[in-house]
Structure 1
Amino acid sequence: MIARSPVSLPVHVVVAPDKFKGSLTAVQVAERVAAGLRTGFAAALPGVGAHALRVTTVPVADGGEGTVDAAVAAGWRAVTTTAAGPTGAPVAATWAREPGGEAALVELAQASGLDRLPGGAREPMAATSRGTGELVRAALDDGAREVVLAVGGSACTDGGAGLLTALGARLLDADGHDVPDGGGALARLHRVDLAGLDPRVREVRWTLAADVDNPLLGDRGAAAVFGPQKGADPGQVAALDAALARFADALAAAGAPDAREEPGAGAAGGTGLVALGLLGARRRPGVEVVLDLVRWPERAAGADLVVTGEGSFDEQSLGGKTPVGVARAAAALGAPVIVLSGRRTLPEERWRAAGFADARALTDVEADAARCIAGAGPLLEGLARVLGTELAAAVA
């Protein structure tokens, strides 16, 4: 239950959720929660409730899939283009342009993500980040002077080699031939030629939106930690780690800053290596970057309550995922934060210690997980309707 509050009418609620992966986009989650809040609040305060509740929807993301959608929902311009997917087959990918500003947002998952693999078949040795580089080039062609690279959800472990070649660099073997795409092929790399690198990449400001702080190599590196998620077996993990080391050596020999030990160099299959080194990017937590993109301080001003959420509220959530990022931002407003999720595995003492006033899940009202996924929209709206009723009782 929501504690009785000294807040007077009208009440301002900010709804700032991430997606429920496999069920609802962040925009759809926000719409369902807003609709339920309004219905429950109005029913509890007939004749008054419809005008006494202000709901501001601010869909967000943690820097992975859905980051472009969150920016577009906040007014950024969506630009869809054809780019190479993780296996090289063309895909329609969207990046975003800041309205009236200099920034472009490139979400790696749009072109190089796991969800872009044909048939979902993992390609740990051959998957490439080339398409992400093509999106960056499109943003530069559009006049961007700042590039935000959001790197969650990658399918590749190529150290950002594909991204680099799409921007004009060449990766050559001992015979002077171009090395094929993919992390596995980097085992044949002899030399990196930066002579043809697009000069604009050194003129723009770069931000790497990445939550992970893994270095490039070793037990905490890109291949060891994230390779198995992308389909790599133990032998392939070892081969990819060695290939990434070879790539890092070649980049350093070509005069690029050596970032292999930098926190975040292992992000997105090692794409952080190129971003933090050659491109000189500044790494920031993904959700913080997204909150800036969606103008959080302006849109959340005066909030009496913040509702956030994601598909699974679990231990990983506390490592910098959307709910925790939103809770930290809401703390500056003095507003309590409630999490609505598909499922919740965190014990109450854990989520309360993280700063949440309440946490509710679809599985609280529907124990069958498959039904929760299939009926996530109506179930979520019903959960929010109860919350709206309680909110009305607390402020009346």
Structure 2
Amino acid sequence: MIQAESFIRVAKDKGFDFYTGVPCSYLTSFINYVIDSPDLQYVGAANEGEAVAIASGAELAGMRSVVMFQNSGFGNAVNPLTSLNQIFKIPILIIVTWRGQPDGAPDEPQHQLMGAITPQLLELMQIPWEYFPTQTADIEPTISRAVAHMTQHQSPYALVMKKGSVESCDLNSLLTVKPPSITPEIPSISEKMSFTRNEMLQAIQAGSHPQDIVLATTGYTGRELYAIEDRENQFYQVGSMGCISSLGLGIALAQPKKQVIVIDGDGAALMRLSALTTIGYERPVNLLHILLDNQRHESTGGQSTVSHSIDFCRIATACGYEKVIVATTPEEVKSLLASPLEKLTFLYVKIKPGIPEKLPRPKITPPEVAQRLRKIIQVAQ
């Protein structure tokens, strides 16, 4: 058994100062110490996949990151780990607890199957792993092996934490309560769909600045943005549907002086709607979350989403977004982007369906997209 401080301070020396995750009783002391540390950053996520995307955004923005969660929630993280981290070559350190360990301490029935397959699942996902250290002397070599792999292969590395690995550590900090202090006026949403996604993306490109970070959700959004004009400050997500706003959150928190523009879709946003609660709590003033809503899964078959039955603006307001705006024309979108952000902003844009003919796929590969974005951020620092 080790002290949380012993591991975290060595990790700090190796460059790990950004943590995010979902609690597990095995991780209590670990998370408590990170939260109490003034020189570390912790973001509590609503689910494990969201945490992976947040950590990945911070890594792209220049911060080595740790994501922590219980193995029973591993399933929530499989999608971004396989189609975001592995595809874009984004290395993060994973600490996953081993509930339901075979021949281990008795545990609740829901942990039985995942406990039996946790190591094999990591191996199937081609994520190298080892046990979380339980002796102080093993901490530095363990972290060094993780860093060496992450540096050489640009992919995740996992530590599997058994019960009783970390000594008890109380939490001394109090959670800062952040209710929406002033409920913004919720704009009315017109039923009219006059413009296409392509027209709105052209307006976003025209209104944004070269130093902004522009992140496009998976599907036709990224492909159309690329086809209009490929730019080094643009990130075209593939896979990991619903994770673009969490990726943007990680970047915005790690780079508070850079404006981050997230271009989301209704289907993607609905898939991980809990991300809005985390973003609304963290409230980075440099994040603009744009939702293009055509009320359908256009890039995956064209079936309708349920967005016609909900109010995204009221949801964003309730989650803590400080500014909520509705735009109906490309000119309104471009005008909004011309002014610097002063608070966390949600921009809702209803669009009509439609795809440009002969829409190309990006010729630049996902690892190249990620690497050039890192360079853009590093040059700007």
The TM-score normalised by the length of structure 1 is: 0.24
Structure of greater Rg: 1
